[in-house]
């Protein structure tokens, strides 16, 4: 069982730039962190993870804590994000799956019908106690740096379960969605509850914000997203708001979701993550065409630009910062995760540039 919503272990970080920006305030500088900042680009990560399977590492408190802290120490980012994996709550609940090198998550028994959905186990808080322990350790170590919780959104989890692994076209997923809508909604309803419980555990342990990743939502049309996905994403984000008393900012991010930004915001996100395909000023206009209340956005430097040399990186970073000034708040990030062969020194220089370029201006 999770703690009651009125029991909070969160620190008071009223001046933390990430939390100020996420709430639409004016931070001392534009906050910056990177998706997949704790990962294969860091030699210390590769040493720490050597010989340890990914999902086991995600449930081992001392490994989670160490890996989560590594980019904070190295880069001086404005937030740590909990080291985890998008399928971890499925694995922890008892779904038979593994992460196969070079492939990604592979499910032993894919979900193909109503009976498979009915058989899916629910996540219990005690099954991810290792995650909660890691969060408690981290909030004690991070000082004034916020910790972002992590979870995968229902559509992306459903795609892995139905396809049996990564998919280019999501054909089995979409076929189930359209041919058996009752089964589909039962599946996403279960996944929403699993994800919400996973986030509740993290919130009760003390995370300061959460990010909900919908990696594959960009494969959907606006109509299909609104009918088949948005109600379940809303259940999660609304549940986070209710559980935390609106204290915890809710970041929602998907890849290729330029046509879904408004729906993602309307699902209950307080911050909308934008990938590199849509300039931030254009994203702001899509989210607030009447300019009533400029949204808070996160993003969106193309991860591939980090291989282009410092002059190009600096120019593109400055462009993203300039476009982000049209928003009600801007959290600088990449437009997707750090690529494995990225030079970590480039990430450190980006942090320094963002801080120096944005200090004292909004």
* Tokens representing residue 163 in the block: 């396809």
Q: Could you confirm whether 286 is annotated as catalytic?
A: no
Q: Could you confirm whether 325 is annotated as catalytic?
A: no
Angle between helix 230-244 and 181-205 (nearest 10): 20
Query: Has 329 been labeled as part of a binding site?
Result: no
Query: Has 298 been labeled as part of a binding site?
Result: no
Query: d(Cα 8, Cα 245) in Å, to the nearest integer?
Result: 10
Q: Which residue, chain included where needed, has tokens 């990030």? A: 333
Q: Which residue, chain included where needed, has tokens 């086991």? A: 56
Query: d(Cα 114, Cα 291) in Å, to the nearest integer?
Result: 45
For residue 212, what is the enclosing H or E element?
Answer: strand 209-214
Q: Could you confirm whether 40 is annotated as catalytic?
A: yes
Q: Could you confirm whether 91 is annotated as catalytic?
A: no
Q: Could you confirm whether 47 is annotated as catalytic?
A: no
Query: Has 290 been labeled as part of a binding site?
Result: no
Query: d(Cα 119, Cα 101) in Å, to the nearest integer?
Result: 28
* Tokens representing residue 95 in the block: 């779904």
Contacts of 156 (CB under 8 A, 6+ apart): 86, 213, 214, 215, 216, 217
Query: Has 160 been labeled as part of a binding site?
Result: yes
Query: Has 85 been labeled as part of a binding site?
Result: yes
Active-site entry in 10, 78, 85, 265: 85
* Contact predicate 206/136, CB 8 Å: yes
Query: Has 14 been labeled as part of a binding site?
Result: no
Contacts of 188 (CB under 8 A, 6+ apart): 154, 155, 158, 228, 229, 232
Active-site entry in 10, 49, 200, 235: 49
Active-site entry in 36, 200, 235, 265: 36
Query: Has 282 been labeled as part of a binding site?
Result: no
Active-site entry in 40, 282, 325, 349: 40
Q: Which residue, chain included where needed, has tokens 């933390």? A: 16
Query: d(Cα 329, Cα 309) in Å, to the nearest integer?
Result: 28
Give binding residues for substrate as ranges.
36-40, 85, 160, 215, 336
Give binding residues as ranges.
36-40, 85, 160, 215, 336
Which residues have a catalytic role annotated? 36, 40, 49, 85, 160
């Amino acid at each position: 069982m999770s703690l009651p919503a009125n029991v909070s272990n969160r620190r008071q970080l009223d001046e933390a730039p990430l939390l100020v920006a996420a709430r639409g305030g004016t931070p001392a500088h534009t906050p910056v962190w990177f998706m997949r900042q704790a990962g294969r680009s860091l030699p210390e990560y590769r040493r720490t993870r050597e010989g340890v399977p990914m999902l086991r590492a995600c449930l081992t408190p001392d490994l989670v804590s160490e890996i989560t802290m590594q980019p904070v120490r190295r880069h001086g980012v404005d937030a740590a994000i909990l080291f985890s994996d998008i399928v971890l709550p499925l694995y922890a609940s008892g779904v038979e799956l593994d992460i196969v090198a070079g492939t990604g998550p592979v499910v032993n028994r894919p979900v193909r019908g109503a009976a498979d959905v009915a058989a899916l186990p629910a996540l219990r808080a005690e099954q991810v106690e290792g995650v909660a322990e890691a969060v408690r350790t981290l909030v004690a170590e991070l000082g004034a740096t916020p910790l972002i919780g992590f979870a995968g959104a229902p559509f992306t989890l459903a795609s892995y379960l139905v396809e049996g692994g990564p998919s280019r076209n999501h054909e089995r997923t979409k076929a189930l969605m359209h041919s058996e809508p009752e089964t589909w909604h039962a599946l996403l309803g279960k996944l929403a509850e699993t994800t919400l419980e996973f986030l509740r555990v993290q919130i009760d342990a003390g995370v300061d914000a959460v990010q909900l990743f919908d990696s594959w939502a960009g494969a959907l049309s606006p109509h299909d997203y609104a009918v088949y996905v948005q109600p379940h994403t809303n259940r999660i984000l609304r549940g986070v708001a209710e559980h935390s008393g609106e204290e915890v900012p809710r970041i929602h991010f998907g890849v290729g979701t330029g046509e879904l930004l408004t729906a993602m915001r309307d699902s209950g996100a307080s911050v909308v993550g934008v990938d590199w395909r849509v300039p931030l000023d254009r994203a702001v206009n899509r989210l607030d065409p009447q300019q009533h209340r400029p949204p808070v956005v996160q993003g969106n430097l193309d991860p591939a630009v980090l291989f282009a040399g410092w002059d190009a990186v600096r120019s593109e970073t400055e462009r993203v910062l300039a476009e982000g000034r049209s928003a009600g708040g801007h959290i600088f990030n990449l437009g997707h995760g750090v690529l494995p062969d990225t030079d970590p020194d480039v990430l450190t220089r980006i942090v320094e540039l963002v801080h120096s370029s944005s200090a004292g201006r909004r």
